[in-house]
Copies of this chain bind each other. A is one copy, B any other.
């Protein structure tokens, strides 16, 4: 929330924050400018005041559409030290400034030093992204935007279920309406439905099967025929085309006879999922839920990245992450000494435990997106966690 940013700026004694945008839209710029569709610009946030957007003449309509105060720069610069010095002075800013967001390294090498030599006091972030911290708790408008993406994401998952329910299986061969069904055909269905429902696939949807499903971030092999008795992991995280907000959910399906080992793995993952979900409360360390799930999986004899950081078998990733204009936001659930992120009211988080066994071609992950309310977390999904599509 923007009000959280003012508090953060006050505690760090910052007078202004600059978030530049050079072609590549970064969520921090998008958030601060209320989604300005410009191709280059600079968002400047003064403490306790609304952001100002500096951009170029061609972008003036989209800049004005944000409702923010807009300053138009008619010439482009190659000396960003001079540019920022003049822009900041033009806005009456004095004191300490900080830069956040992503920027091209070849343009910003030495810019902070140049500003310092012109008398500016630069905040040293030391890895702390104040915009990311302020974006952590969502306001009602953001929660509604994410809920809307969630409802449409469920419709896409429904379509995949429908196809998987309708297949004909003969031996290892799987056909859908007479055609051999491939992972690529399911991926294509997901892509069309995502677009039809006003969303974008910012990253490729994970639709992976068997040995691919056993590697958490494998996107899956489009040419692979869909097989019976093998896990099919659908991890889908589209964003709304206009608002830019993401949603994230994962289901693991299996068609045909379900192997016992897969059934058991799925039951264990589902238990981890419900334990983390039912335990989670605002005001508590996010890492404690990663510990809870590691405890559970280790008690069953599985390796985890806590018991063996290099393991690729067992529970090999974090429990979840915040979701917003980035697919991965605060809080972090990482079990590292430096992670002091709390689960807080207003956070939107995923819970997504998984188990992986590359040697046996098995992988299961279950994930919902949740909103953290005053005394618990509420799923934004409809349920339907079974292996049967």
Enumerate chain A interface residues (CB-CB to B < 8 A).
22-26, 37-39, 57-62, 74-76, 78, 99-110, 112, 122, 124-130, 188, 191-192, 194-196, 198, 200-201, 203-204, 212, 215-219, 241, 309-310, 312, 316-317, 326-328, 334, 336, 338
Contacts and interface: CB of A to CB of B under 8 A. Distances in A.
The DSSP consensus for interface residues of chain A is loop
Contact of A78 (B104, B124, B338): B338
B204 A241 contact: yes
Contact of A103 (B39, B62, B78, B103): B103
Contacts of A327: 23
Contact of A58 (B109, B316, B328): B316
Contacts of A200: 200-201
Given A24-B102, A78-B338, A102-B104, 13 more contacts: A57-B316, A58-B215, A59-B217, A62-B218, A74-B310, A78-B127, A99-B106, A101-B104, A104-B129, A109-B112, A191-B198, A194-B195, A204-B241
A100 B106 contact: yes
Given A106-B125, A192-B196, A195-B192, A217 B58 contact: yes
B24 A24 contact: yes
A61 B201 contact: no
Contacts of A219: 37, 62
Given A110-B124, A316-B58, A38 B217 contact: yes
A217 B62 contact: yes
A99 B110 CA distance: 13
B107 A99 contact: no
Nearest to A309: B74
B127 A106 contact: yes
Contacts of A38: 217
A76 B101 CA distance: 20
Contacts of A99: 105-106, 109
B128 A106 contact: yes
Nearest to A20: B105
A192 B192 contact: yes
21 contacts: A23-B327, A24-B102, A37-B219, A38-B217, A57-B316, A58-B215, A58-B217, A58-B316, A59-B217, A60-B312, A62-B217, A100-B106, A102-B102, A103-B103, A103-B105, A104-B129, A106-B129, A191-B196, A191-B241, A195-B195, A201-B241
Nearest to A103: B105
Contacts of A127: 78, 106-107
Contacts of A39: 203, 217, 328
Contacts of A105: 99-103, 108, 125
A212 B312 CA distance: 53
Nearest to A195: B195
Given A106-B100, A106-B125, A328-B23, A58 B317 contact: yes
Contact of A125 (B58, B103, B109): B109
Given A57-B310, A192-B195, A317-B58, A124 B102 contact: no
B112 A124 contact: no
Contacts of A129: 104, 106
A188 B39 CA distance: 22
A374 to B, nearest CB: 30
A59 B122 CA distance: 36
A76 to B, nearest CB: 8
Enumerate the 10 nearest inter-chain pairs by beta-carbon distance, A residue then B residue, closest first. Answer: A195-B195, A106-B125, A106-B129, A102-B102, A61-B218, A61-B215, A99-B105, A58-B217, A58-B216, A74-B310
